[in-house]
Structure 1
Amino acid sequence: MDDDTMRALAGRAYDDPFPWRFLTDLVEAGPRLGGSPGERRAADLVATAFEGAGADPEVLDFPIRRWKRGDAELAVRVKRDRGTVERSFEAIALPYSPPGDVRAPLTDAGHGTPDETDAADLAGTVALADTDSPGGGRYVHRMEKYGHAVEAGAEAFVFAHHEPGQLAPTGTLRFGHEGAVPAVGVSYETGEWLREYAGEGAEIRLRVDATTEDGVSHNTLGRLGPDTEEGVLVVGHHDAHDIAEGALDNGCGITTVATAARYLADVDLDSRVWVAGVGCEETGLLGASALAEHVDPDRVRAVVNVDGAGRHRDLRALTHGSDASREAAERLSERAGRPVHVEGTPHPYSDHWPFLQQGVPAIQLHSQPATGHERGRGWGHTSADTRDKADPRNLRDHALLTALLVADLAGRDVPRRDTDDLRAELEDAGAEPGMRAAGVWPDGWD
């Protein structure tokens, strides 16, 4: 992209009304959990945006095991010398929790790491773990904590938010199929009570109503630029958890993709650019996996996964161990005169993963809060994930930066990742035990 084109796009992005309108339409589409009518409406909105960019979109359906949330109950019973305490607390079922009704002692597993899980002796109990990770260490994903608890013999799992605000967290337990034991999310405040009661020998009753059945989800795929054999894939997920509007996760991200597609339509691209909105990221990267069967990863020069961009003022680029991805992020920062915060450690918990594990270099575009690196999800995965948390300036700015990055990658030969090197990096980061517990360690790596 030449300097004149970049300046023209920057001027266009300065006061572009499209991103805010698109985000508004998206959150007004209704709950967007995988396979729901709201998620289908979201796919159609993405298709309309891609059509406006001249990307010739198609909406592609794919089969899923659709999970539907029912009611959940959590009650505590504690015997004391001065009497018995019986209390009920609000709780929400976690996606792919099976239905169940469990009565068992409550055990505090701390952050839910392997060491804490082993020390807690969870067999036959209800495991309690919080959403945070140990300070200074690797981020420990919810699926890992649940997997460790199940392996340790827990009868059920309680996931407590680590930040105050009476916000119960949600999040899937498995990639696309039911977990082994019932699980719920509870607020920080409830978690504090539960930890105290666990130390007093509390008994828990945990009941979950939920169903898992055959369903259908949808991806939207468009094409820009020349019809070359290889190209760059830009992807963002349009689904969201059904307890909130999903404005941040990933409404801002898919808005960034849709807006960047409009900007890229005015760029003389050197190779094919696929633009995609995918479903069912929140329930197991199911849309991205289906996309990897439709767009041959061998043809994908690089994947730009827009999951988390548009939320805060600065852009954050997770380069997943690729030197070429890191260099592209650094070039973007220098040329645009904008800070781009770069992290290199790979992880498997977003839509780049079905491509990265097959050797495609990846960049995940996220956001950097003004206060520094965000530990955990902030408002995401709670009922507070609403449009008022978003800022149209961030959407416009990150869409422009995404377009500049993609145009740059479309004109370069990007070395593929060696999957043996990728495996070694994950092992060095201590990710393997957790990925195995979560069920996401690739079969071919065993």
Structure 2
Amino acid sequence: MTERGPGPVLTDDAARALGSAWTDDRSWGLLTRLTELPHRMGGSPGERRAAELVREAFADAGLADVRIDEFPVQYWERGETEFAVVGDQPTRGSDTEGTGSIDRSFEAIALPYSPPGDIEGPLVDVGYGTPDEIEAAGSVVQGGIAVASTTTPPDQRFVHRMEKFGHAVAAGAAAFVFANHVPGQLPPTGALRFDAEAAVPGVGVSAETHDWLSEYADRGARARIRVDATTRRGSSQNVHGVLGGVPGENADEEVLVLAHYDAHDVGEGALDNGCGIATVVGAARALAAIEDELACPVRIAGVGCEEIGLLGAEALADDLDPDAIRAVVNVDGAGRFRNLRALTHGSETMAEVTERVADEVGQPIGREPEPHPFSDHWPFLRAGVPALQLHSEPPEGSERGRGWGHTTADTRDKVDPRNLREHAMLTALLVRELTRADVPRVDEADLRDRLRDQDYEPGMRAADVWPAAWES
């Protein structure tokens, strides 16, 4: 297929397609069906049923050659979790200082890939769980139950949950507690490892529980964690189809658009990432209506097991030739809030395309230039494929963090259908422009240096995701 240069963003056909998209509720319908499932945990029967729903939605949108591909995973399944502060400890705030006993239970949820276990040890509050704080805690972490906040100081780089856990384990912690920093947002979940059972148990607790744990840790209290969970061999699935021709016959390259459809088992997964896959389906419908304006094929994919290690994206990257992918558009976070945000991962051309579309249609699209490795674009970006991640901006004044995501409060009532429609339309226009654009490949050394400049290397090493090829 002959590559075309940039043309008007809003052709007559595109304007008609967007007009239809404005009243199309099928994305909302898909979101509804996904959130009605018991859960969509990676490798579960619910995730398998979700893949079928995505396949039906892709076929209905007009994609060709829609199929489901299976891949192996380590399937983690939760049982019961118990968490309590126990034993004798100093008392405070009374006329008589002394020693009292406590046996107080708190709500907690196991973190995916936590091993089963029954652990008792001293509570150790390591603050935000940054490497410096864990190092400063010193030997008291050894054999202790390390408690770390879900957030990071605003003047410091983001420290991922897996990095906090990795540093705590390296310091000798016997268990890990991940404490939400936002009041009223419930205990958070999130994987401790990628596709493998972790070294020690880990649980999530609320901000309100964290307040008590900080005090009890100051008093020298002990805690007990009991986790019932299993990790066994299983499988997950990717769903994908094509618009705009057959890759390999009419062109050497395709644009890949993907979103993960799995979610944690503690909630409905509406925001993370039901909104993303629903946005992709809406965009696919709009692109199908302007298929003759695509300058190369577009592959649309719903990937599984993002929440437990980007496993679906890794499997898809193994199945596809990275050299035959012009660009990857990862829709993770779009549709949640009002204003779309584009993470361009170091590509100036991606930023230019985003700015052009935003200017011509008069819609705000925020931009973030720096790369990160924390979503499904990563296996492709790592292989040199230019990446665009579409997210959305939370309301002004929101605290740093994922909000309702990864908690039982991630439910459909938080979603505004207008955001799904608008972000689907903008996604479609961005994808169409990327089929026409000449986007330079990602330079491996530049990507590595950018991640190092943001101080991601220690965390990626702690989580065991720093590319082996970069060791030298």
CA RMSD of aligned residues (A): 1.2
3-state SS, counterpart of residue 265 of structure 1: helix
For residue 327 of structure 1, what is the aligned residue in structure 2? 352
Q: Deviations over 1:292-338 (max 9, x none)?
A: 01121111111000000001110011111111111121112112211
CA contact (8 A) 1:226 1:270 kept: no
Residue number in structure 2 paired with 1:289: 314
C-alpha distance in 1, partners of 2:454/2:75? 33
Uncovered stretches (5+) of structure 2, i.e. residues with no partner = 1-8, 91-97
Equivalence for 2:264: 241
Aligned amino acid, residue 422 of structure 2: D
CA deviations over 1:119-165 (Å, ceiling 9, x no partner) = 11211111000101111222211111111111111110000000111
Alignment-derived partner of residue 399 in structure 1: 424
Structure 2 residue matching 1:119: 3-state secondary structure: helix
2:172 equivalent among 143, 153, 159: 153
Indicate which of 26, 30, 50 corresponds to 1:22.
Answer: 30
Structure 1 residue aligned with 2:79: 70
Please give the residue correspondences for 1:20-419 in structure 2 after superposition, counting only pairs within 5 Å.
Answer: 20-56=28-64, 57-77=66-86, 78-80=88-90, 81-121=98-138, 122-165=141-184, 167-227=186-246, 228-267=251-290, 268=292, 269-371=294-396, 375-419=400-444
CA distance 1:51–1:374, shift in 2 (3 Å): farther
Structure 1 position 372, deviation (Å):
5.9
Letter matched to residue 40 of structure 2 = R
Q: Does the C-alpha gap of structure 1 residues 47 and 374 become closer, same or farther in structure 2, counting only changes over 3 Å?
A: farther
CA distance in 1, matches of 2:160, 2:361: 33
Task: Please list every run of 5 or more consecutive structure 1 residues that lacks an aligned counterpart in the other structure.
Answer: none
Moved more, 395-404 or 14-23: 14-23
Aligned to 1:432: 457
Q: Structure 1 residue 204: deviation in Å? A: 1.0
Report which of the two structures shows the higher radius of gyration computed on alpha carbons.
2
Name which of structure 1's ranges 387-396 and 288-297 shifts more when overlaid on structure 2. Answer: 288-297
Between the aligned partners of 1:330 and 1:2, the Cα distance in structure 2 is 15
Task: Give deviations 1:26-58, integer Å, cap 9, x for gaps.
Answer: 111220000111111111111111111221210
Q: Distance in 1 between matches of 2:198 and 2:346?
A: 31
Query: How far 1:425 moved relative to its partner?
Result: 0.3
Aligned residue for 2:309, secondary structure, equals coil
Deviations 1:217-241 (A, max 9, x none): 0100110102322010000000000
SS at match of 1:315: strand
Query: 2:185 touches 2:409 (CA, 8 Å); kept in 1?
Result: no
Q: Percent identity?
A: 61
d(CA) in 2 for partners of 1:262 and 1:253?
Answer: 15
Query: Which whole-Å CA distance do the structure 2 matches of 1:123 and 1:105 have between them?
Result: 9
**CA contact under 8 A between 1:368 and 1:374: conserved in structure 2?**
no
Task: Name the counterpart of 2:93.
Answer: none
**Cα distance in 1, alignment partners of residues 470 and 81 from structure 2:** 38
Q: Normalising by the residue count of structure 2, what TM-score does the alignment of the two structures yield?
A: 0.93
Amino acid in structure 2 at the alignment position of 1:70: G
1:231-289 C-alpha deviation (Å, 9 max, x unpaired): 10000000000000000000000000111111111112110100000000000000000
3, 12, 29: which one pairs with 2:20? 12
Give the deviation of 1:85 after TM superposition. Answer: 1.9
Is 1:166–1:189's contact at 8 Å kept on the other side of the alignment? Answer: no
Deviation at 1:374, TM superposition (A): 6.0
2:276 touches 2:334 (CA, 8 Å); kept in 1? yes
